Amino acid sequence: MADIPPPGISREAKRQTGQDARDSVPPEVHPATTQPRTSGTPKKKHRKDGNQPKALRETPKAQRHSGKGVRHSYAAIDLGTNNCRLLIARPSGPNFTVIDAFSRVVRLGEGLAQTGRLSNAAMDRAVNALKICSDKLRRRNVRLARSVATEACRRAENGAEFIERVRRETGIVLDVISAEEEARLAVLGCHILLEEGPGPAVIFDIGGGSTELVLIEQGGPVPRVLDWQSVPWGVVSLTETCGHGEETEEMRKARYDEMRRLVSESFAPFAQRIADMRKPELRLLGTSGTVTTLASLHLDLPQYDRKAVDGLIVPAAAMRDISLRLSAMSPQDRRQLPCIGNERADLVIAGCAILESILDIWPAERLGVADRGIREGILRSLMSSDSDGDQTRAALRRTRDAGR
């Protein structure tokens, strides 16, 4: 797959809505680039990254605050099958600083595997979360924003109706992106965490409704995509398809084996295409709630700590061991584990099955963990493209002034 041009950038309308402070994420310094590290190793200095595609449309003038001393901010919303996430950030040299963020489990794709439609309750949850995002966009100095929706909205019969409802009630125009664009943005947002080394590498994103695998070759500011695959198995869709029969250990094993079978069959075409690319010292990087949760368990964290997990390099064998242990546990026992709790207890097993299937086709000894992806990819695209546009406009002004 060659470089993939992004679709046009959605316009964000401003609208005052309510906010639930419990769902807010405190502002933090969030570098766009950093070096991967192994367990227990402190983060190192950040590595500069490069430019991204330039095609975009600016938000309406009403949302743009110009003038000396005003620092523009940029926003990215990722409405997935399971989560609604927002980042608002300002450029900071080659990196960016997050000034506001939000994340909420909305389970938009709940029941989609059975009905083919988004349920009223799921849409209500998503709209309520997006109203909070809309309020944050209104209150911040957002110059450019892009809001995307992924697999649930791609598959649902009533996806277009939901998109229109979101626009009407929140002012946010969701761009339903293709699986190819989803894969590109995930790579763009996290590839800098990939360990350096020879030969191609695989980056994957386990979502709620789909999983994307991308074979990349490093070199230059942005890696070159050699091949990619998207399968309709994410933690929500796979869990709902395989049911919730976990009363006995035998039932749990049979359910896990079925999950592994379904995912492996879907991965088979990609596995066959990349088989000749497998070389010694394979490199693998994952971005998803699954890998960050398993990494937290690997570190035995009492609660989730993004700074400890993002950029971590863990032995793949340790991630397999944790996956197998979780698959044998009852839902009640899983809920007692730190960093899993009630929200992830029923979905984490599907993530484990997907991860093990990925390790089967790309058996790297070490796995990189990224707590970043689509939103960061969007932000970096927006900032780079806007900077290029500013430079072009300045050059045109200088040419015009010189001709007077």
Say whether pLDDT at 4 is over 50: no
Q: So what's the pLDDT on residue 274?
A: 96
In sequence order, which residues have a C-beta less than 8 Å from that of residue 334 and are 6 or more positions away? Answer: 326, 340, 345, 348, 349
Q: So what's the pLDDT on residue 315?
A: 98
Q: So what's the pLDDT on residue 12?
A: 34
In sequence order, which residues have a C-beta less than 8 Å from that of residue 275 and are 6 or more positions away? Answer: none
Query: Residue 385 in 3-state DSSP?
Result: helix
Distance of alpha carbon 109 from alpha carbon 329, whole angstroms: 25
Q: So what's the pLDDT on residue 126?
A: 98
Say whether pLDDT at 300 is over 80: yes
Domain boundaries, the chain: 21-31+47-177, 181-370
| Residue range 20-68, pLDDT digits in tens | 333 443 333 334 334 566 665 444 433 333 333 332 333 333 333 334 4
| Residue range 109-166, pLDDT digits in tens | 999 999 999 999 999 999 999 999 999 999 997 889 999 999 999 999 999 999 999 9
Count H helices and E strands in the chain, helices first: 14, 14
Greatest mean pLDDT among 127-131, 240-244, 328-332? 127-131
Q: So what's the pLDDT on residue 1?
A: 36
181-370: CATH number:
3.30.420.150
181-370 and 21-31+47-177 share a CATH fold: yes
Say whether pLDDT at 313 is over 50: yes
Q: What type of residue sits at position 23?
A: D
Phi, psi of 224 (to 5 degrees): -90, 130
Q: So what's the pLDDT on residue 14?
A: 35
Query: Residue 110 in 3-state DSSP?
Result: coil
> 378, 375, 355, 350: which is closest to 109 by C-alpha?
350
Report the percent of the chain where pLDDT is more than 90: 69
Mean pLDDT of the chain: 83
Q: What is the dihedral of CA 370, 371, 377, 382, to 10 degrees?
A: -140
Q: What type of residue sits at position 312?
A: L
Least confident of 101-115, 260-274, 380-394: 380-394
Q: So what's the pLDDT on residue 388?
A: 52
Helix, strand, coil share of the chain (percent; to 5): 45, 20, 35
- In CATH terms, the superfamily for domain 21-31+47-177 is ATPase, nucleotide binding domain (3.30.420.40)
Say whether pLDDT at 331 is over 60: yes
Helix (H) or strand (E) holding 392: helix 374-402
> 312, 39 in Cβ contact below 8 A?
yes
Distance of alpha carbon 387 from alpha carbon 292, whole angstroms: 32
Q: So what's the pLDDT on residue 92?
A: 87
Greatest CA separation found in the chain?
83
Q: What is the mean pLDDT of residues 239-260?
A: 93
| Residue range 355-371, pLDDT digits in tens | 999 999 999 999 999 99
pLDDT band at 384 (very low <50, low <70, confident <90, very high): confident
pLDDT band at 82 (very low <50, low <70, confident <90, very high): very high
Q: So what's the pLDDT on residue 403?
A: 55
